[in-house]
Amino acid sequence: MSDITRQTLFSATAIVKNFGGVQALRGVDFDVIPGEIHALLGQNGAGKSTLVKILNGVHPAGSHTGTIQLDGQSVSFASPADARSSGVGYVPQEIEVLEQLSVAENVFAGRTGLGAGMLVYQRKLEQRAGEIFADLGIDINPRAYVASLTSAQRHLVMIARAIVMKPRVLMLDEPTASLSGTEVDALFSVLRRLKAQGVAMIYITHRLPEVLAICDRATVLRDGQVAVRIAREDFDAETFIFSMSGQRLQRLFPEHAAPVGTPTALDVRHLTVAGHSGAVHGANDISLSVAAGEIVGLAGLLGSGRSEILHGIYGRVPAEGAIRVNGQSVAVRSPADARAAGIALLTEDRKRDGLLFNLPVGANITIGNLAPLSRHGMVRGWLERSSILAAMRALNVKASSPQAAVTHLSGGNQQKLLFARVLMRAPKVLLLDEPTKGVDAATRHEIYRLVVELAEKGVALLIVASELEELIGLCDRCLVVADGRIVDEFNRGEGGEDRVLRSVTSAQAERHAMAAQASS
Amino acid sequence: MNSAAEVSSPPRDAQSFRRRLIGFIAVGEVGVLAAMALLVAFFWLLEPAFLSERNIRAILNVVSFVGIIAIGQTILLVAGEFDLSVGSVAGLSAVVAGKLMTAAALPVTAAILGGIGVGALIGLLNGLIVVRLGIPAFIQTLGMLFIGQGLIQVVTGGYPVYPLPDAINDIGGTDLVFGLGWSFAFFIIAAIIADFVLRRTVLGRNMYATGGNKEVAHLVGINTNAYKIGAFITVGALSAIAGMFVMADLGSGGTSIGSGWELTVIAGVVVGGVSLFGGAGTVAGGVVGILLLKIVQSGLVVIGVNSNWQQIAVGVIMVMAVGLDIVRRRYFIAGA
């Protein structure tokens, strides 16, 4: 420990961060030394992104307790720009590029002046970007337009953008989430060069094979605390899985037994969905079935294709394959077809794909469900109002009136409102994408109860959730998805979070090996 | 259980009054109506002739033409798009109908249907290009504005279509009530129907959903493309009808019919609380907004303000109206 402390470049000590009443970080220590790639691991909600946001100035100094030191000097970052100018760079998980500009302009975004006043020296920018790329071994033409790049290349552009500032510390948040196997190798060779230059890197990932491949040290967070710190010589996938999924606060899930002998409600054969922008993961030849009254979970990492499966079944994205509902073959070309067949979808992103902010609470519930509430195309006011009130009561949606604006509702109430919408047509098959995302603990529990109630009424449920504990606690059966394929399946009681992590890891290791073979 | 109690229990009196007052102010049209009443009183105090029968009739007559288009534009804005080509379409449809009934010697009814067809067809074209090819409505309909103006010259050769059959002059000259003719009657009836459709029908509700968030509307099973294209066709057909009413009023198919209307119409409906970003506003509001603009223009003339100042007034009012609308939303809807 002592020799590491001696050369520590960047460190955080006793970091505590609260969100409202929730403790996201409870006294975390973290440090990184020059020329080291330090993996930061943990499940969703373990506190990884909170820690990174503190180190990066997104959560500014003063909003948390604890000290951050750079080169032995105490620092307090007021903003990401502040952190950047102090030599702490950050490459976010989402690709943020200016599509209409050239690669060189993107690399120097915000710094195009190059110290020469107001003018942009296009030639000079391209030359400098070219030098940076050559230095990192990146093969991209600096004059190309970013719109023409693949998502992997865009990610490299974002890394180059961080490198321009000559950071001494570089944080990478899930840099491989959108990359294919060979692209990952290209990224790794860039990281190795940075390492040789003495840059200290913090590498956040869910993918254990990558940790084994490139990292020097790993810190595992669990429930806002450091669960374990592991040196390279002790790296072992089993250890990681064990420490990530160890004991956590026990949550109570309502009792539900898998139905016996009920007919299959949803049957999907050979469903294939293309990945977005022609890139990697979509859903690849997925076959699954859900019985009436059964709760089935799709477990997998972000970007594994689990949401794409739901979207393919619902007709939100073009998909190939056969879908049967209650034994009837249905052609689903659009959400309207899926709804007509008795399939309903609760989307993940309430703000973007769920709520209509221009309509009040009541109309948000009945939108898409107006046919039975109208005659000759005219909405029957009293009938609509009474069914809205009934739906609000049934789902305990707390709003002052059906005329209230949806912006006033809490996240939990907004989510219950969307449940009211999808349930109004009494679907036979209900697809739920992250049904408890961003809702309070009480509502979370209400949603668990609702899911079980629906199953008991004979609805077939297919659920995607990032929190494995939740998925395993709630579902009768879990399907593990990795790289757009189902790689494992187990019933309630046959496995826990560790089983999911293990199946995902072995699937990834396989893919990694195949990619290595292909590229050699 | 909680919510049931909250929803059904009658609020206490003082609170209920306050809430009702806020609810009243929060209704988009009320603010515009109040502003309009103030303006009318203001002009009348300065110049009582403002409320003369002749002036009122003149205002209503002008409003009936642009108002017909405003109905369509409101529907289209609610669906989340807008159309800059309405003036050109009005002019083109008028001269085409004029040519059909003169040069082509078609029956008047057939020629009128032809004019409406031209408007609807251009609306369909605008809609298809915007929805299917993803070209922004601003670009597509601005292009159509120029195309329409060019076609007017092509069709007419630069000369007004004149003389027109008597039947057309009769339509323009009819005095139904208070010196107002068929165009006003059509305007009122169309406005009432359109307002009802947006407020009370499934079609209207789906239109608001489409304009509010296209993706959400699609996910709940609404064919958003059909709604948008339908709204474009409606605005095209209504523009054509307005253009032909002007032609009947003038007794000639002038080449300048409709020129410059697009901005008046958009300014008017925006004053009336119709959102440029889609999904908000009513036909009643849009129509009242147009009326307010025309009252200001006429009032300034009546009290003897230099005509150059009228345009300045229109600009100021539009920006103020939108500013007030934002404030109103913030304090009475969001903060209630």
Evaluate whether residue B4 is within a structural domain.
Answer: no
The parent domain of residue B209 ranges over 33-334
- Residue B118, domain member (yes or no): yes
Q: Quote the CA–CA distance of A299 and A289 in Å, as a whole number.
A: 15
pLDDT of chain B, 336 residues: tens digit per residue: 344 334 444 445 666 666 666 655 556 577 788 888 988 999 999 999 899 999 999 999 999 999 999 999 999 999 999 999 999 999 999 999 999 999 998 999 999 999 999 999 999 999 999 999 999 999 999 999 999 999 999 999 989 998 888 888 888 888 888 878 899 999 999 999 999 999 999 999 999 999 999 999 999 999 999 999 999 999 999 999 999 999 999 999 888 999 989 988 999 998 888 988 889 899 999 999 999 999 998 898 888 888 788 888 888 887 887 787 677 666 654 433
Contact A374/B201, CB-based, under 8 Å?
yes
Say yes or no to pLDDT of A469 above 90: no
Judged by CB atoms closer than 8 Å, whether chains meet at B209 and A399 is answered as no
Closest CB to B201: pick one of A368, A379, A389.
A379
Per-residue model confidence as pLDDT tens digits over A114-155: 555 556 677 888 888 888 888 777 788 888 888 888 777 888
**Which residue is closest to A402 within chain B, CA to CA?**
B7
Contacts of A357 in chain B (CB under 8 A): 212-213
> Which of these three, A114, A139, A166, is where a domain ends?
A166
Largest Cα separation within chain A, whole Å, is 80
Same structural domain for residues A157 and A172?
Answer: no
* Whether pLDDT at A480 is above 50: yes
* B-chain residues near A367 (CB < 8 A): 205-206, 209, 216-217, 220, 222
Q: Is A346 domain-assigned?
A: yes
Nearest Cα of chain B lies from the Cα of A430 at a distance, in angstroms, of 13
- Of A185, A308, A210, A220, the closest CA to residue A505 belongs to A210
Of B6, B201, B334, Cβ closest to residue A398:
B6
Give me the pLDDT at residue A2, please: 41
Residue B18 within any structural domain of the chain: no
Report yes or no: B279 at the A interface, CB cutoff 8 Å. Answer: yes
CB contact under 8 A, B333 and A405: yes
The residue among A151, A166, A181 that closes a domain is A166
pLDDT over threshold 80, residue A519? no
**Is A178 found in the same domain as A237?**
yes
Q: Is residue A419 part of a domain?
A: no
Whether the pLDDT of residue A300 is over 90: the answer is: no
Asked whether residue B145 is domain-assigned, the answer is yes
3-state secondary structure chain B: CHHHHHHHCCCCHHHHHHHHHHHHHHCHHHHHHHHHHHHHHHHHHHCHHHHCHHHHHHHHHHHHHHHHHHHHHHHHHHCCCCCCCHHHHHHHHHHHHHHHHCCCCCCHHHHHHHHHHHHHHHHHHHHHHHHHHCCCHHHHHHHHHHHHHHHHHHHHCCCCECCCCHHHHHHHHCCCECCECHHHHHHHHHHHHHHHHHHHEHHHHHHHHHHHCHHHHHHCCCCHHHHHHHHHHHHHHHHHHHHHHHHHHHCCECCCCCCCHHHHHHHHHHHCCCCCCCCCCCHHHHHHHHHHHHHHHHHHHHCCCCHHHHHHHHHHHHHHHHHHHHHHHHHHHHCC
Distance CA B44, CA B303 (A): 9
Indicate if the pLDDT at residue A463 is higher than 90. yes
In a domain, A14, yes or no: yes
Mutate to test the interface with B, among A358, A388, A423 (most CBs of B within 10 A): A358
B211 touches chain A (CB under 8 A): yes
Clarify whether residues A80 and A130 are in a common domain.
Answer: no
Phi and psi of A326, rounded to 5°?
A: 50, 40
**Is residue A400 less than 8 Å (CB to CB) from chain B?**
yes
Does residue A324 register a pLDDT over 50? yes
- Whether A377 and chain B come into contact, CB under 8 Å, resolves to yes
Lowest mean pLDDT among A259-268, A479-488, A501-510, B208-217: A501-510
Taking an 8 Å cut-off on Cβ atoms, the answer to whether B220 and A367 are in contact is yes
Number of A:B CB contacts under 8 A? 111
Q: Do A357 and B7 touch (CB under 8 A)?
A: no
Question: CATH number, domain at A174?
Answer: 3.40.50.300
Quote the number of domains for chain B.
1
CB contact under 8 A, A359 and B223: no
Does A317 lie in the same domain as A439? yes
Residues of A in contact with B221 (CB under 8 A): 334-336, 338-340, 368
Q: Do A346 and A436 belong together in one domain?
A: yes
Domain membership of residue A130 as a residue range: 93-166
Contact A357 B212 (CB under 8 A): yes
Residue A312 falls within a domain, yes or no?
yes
Question: Does some domain include residue B260?
Answer: yes
What confidence tens digit (pLDDT) does each residue in A422-461 have? 999 899 999 999 998 877 777 888 899 999 999 999 999 9
Of A339, A352, A377, nearest to B215 by CB-CB distance is: A352
Test mutation, A351, A352, A356, A388, chain B, max B CBs within 10 A: A356
pLDDT number for residue B329: 64
* Chain A residues with CB-CB distance to B202 below 8 A: 370-371, 374, 377-379
Handedness of CA A199, A201, A207, A208 (dihedral sign): positive
Of A183-187, A244-248, B113-117, B254-258, which one has max mean pLDDT?
Answer: B113-117
The reply to whether A316 and A457 lie within a common domain is yes
Assess if residue A483 is contained within a domain: yes
Looking at the fold, whether A241 and A193 belong to one and the same domain comes out as yes
Segment A315-321 mean pLDDT: 91
Q: CB distance from A252 to chain B under 8 Å?
A: no
Measured between CB atoms, which of A368, A396, A401 is closest to B222? Answer: A368
Higher pLDDT residue, A251 or A319?
A: A319
Same structural domain, A2 and A13: yes
With contacts defined as CB-CB under 8 Å, which chain B residues touch A401? 7
Cβ distance B216 to A354 less than 8 Å, yes or no, reads yes
- Residues in chain B with CB shorter than 8 Å from the CB of A392 are 3-4, 7
State whether residue B216 sits within 8 Å of chain A by CB. yes
Is the minimum CB–CB distance between A421 and chain B shorter than 8 Å?
A: yes
Domain tally, chain A: 3
Asked whether B131 and B229 are in contact (CB, 8 A), the reply is: yes
Among the partner residues B2, B209, B217, nearest to A396 by beta-carbon distance: B2
Domain boundary, last residue among A121, A150, A166: A166
Q: Which residues pair with A283 in a beta bridge?
A: A273
Q: Compare CB distances from A398 to B2, B209, B216 and report the shortest one's residue.
A: B2
A261: left (phi over 0), alpha (psi -120 to 50) or beta: left
- Nearest CB partner across the interface for B205, out of A379, A393, A405: A379
| ω into B163 cis (within 30 of 0) | yes
Task: Tell me if chain A has a CB within 8 Å of the CB of B133.
Answer: no
Task: Establish if B14 belongs to a structural domain.
Answer: no
Residue B246 sits in a domain whose CATH number is: 1.10.3470
Q: Are residues A346 and A431 located together in one domain of the fold?
A: yes
A451 is a domain residue: yes
Decide the pairing of beta strands A65-70 and A10-19: antiparallel
Scanning B301-330 for CB atoms below 8 A from A yields: none
Range scoring the smallest mean pLDDT among A18-32, A311-325, B53-67: A18-32
Q: Flag whether residue B205 sits within 8 Å of chain A, measured between CB atoms.
A: yes
Residue of B7, B202, B279 lying closest to A392 (CB–CB): B7
A231 in a structural domain:
yes
CA-closest candidate to residue B199, choices A381, A190, A392: A381
Residue A265 pLDDT greater than 60, yes or no: yes
- Residue A495 and residue A330 in contact, taking contact as beta carbons nearer than 8 Å: no
Return the residue of A nearest to B78 by Cα. Answer: A358
Q: Cβ of B219 and A405 within 8 Å?
A: no
Residue contact B3–A393, C-beta within 8 A: yes
Using CB atoms, pick whichever of A358, A374, A398 lies closest to residue B280.
Answer: A358
Does residue A187 share a domain with residue A78?
A: yes
Position A470 scores a pLDDT of 87
User: What is the pLDDT at residue B9?
Assistant: 42
A334 and A286 fall within a common domain: yes
Q: Beta strand pairing status for A485-491 and A477-482?
A: antiparallel
Which chain A residue has the Cα nearest residue B215?
A353
Residue B200 with chain A: CB contacts under 8 Å: 378-379, 381
Mean predicted lDDT score pLDDT of chain A: 86
By Cβ distance, the residue of A336, A353, A389 closest to B7 is: A389
Q: Does A17 touch chain B (CB under 8 A)?
A: no
Nearest to A359 among B6, B209, B275 (CB): B209
Distance of CA A67 to the CA centre of its chain: 29
A247 CB near a chain B CB, below 8 Å?
A: no
Among A39-48, A477-486, A499-508, the range scoring the smallest mean pLDDT is: A39-48
Nearest by CB to residue B219, choosing from A316, A377, A378, is: A316
Contact call for A358 and B205, based on CB within 8 A? no
Looking at residue A116, its pLDDT comes to: 53
pLDDT in tens, A50-109: 898 899 888 888 888 899 999 888 998 988 888 888 899 998 877 778 888 888 888 887
Residue B166 lies in a domain: yes
How close does chain B come to A61, measured CA to CA in Å? Answer: 31
Is A417 contained in some domain?
no
Residue B24 belongs to a domain = no
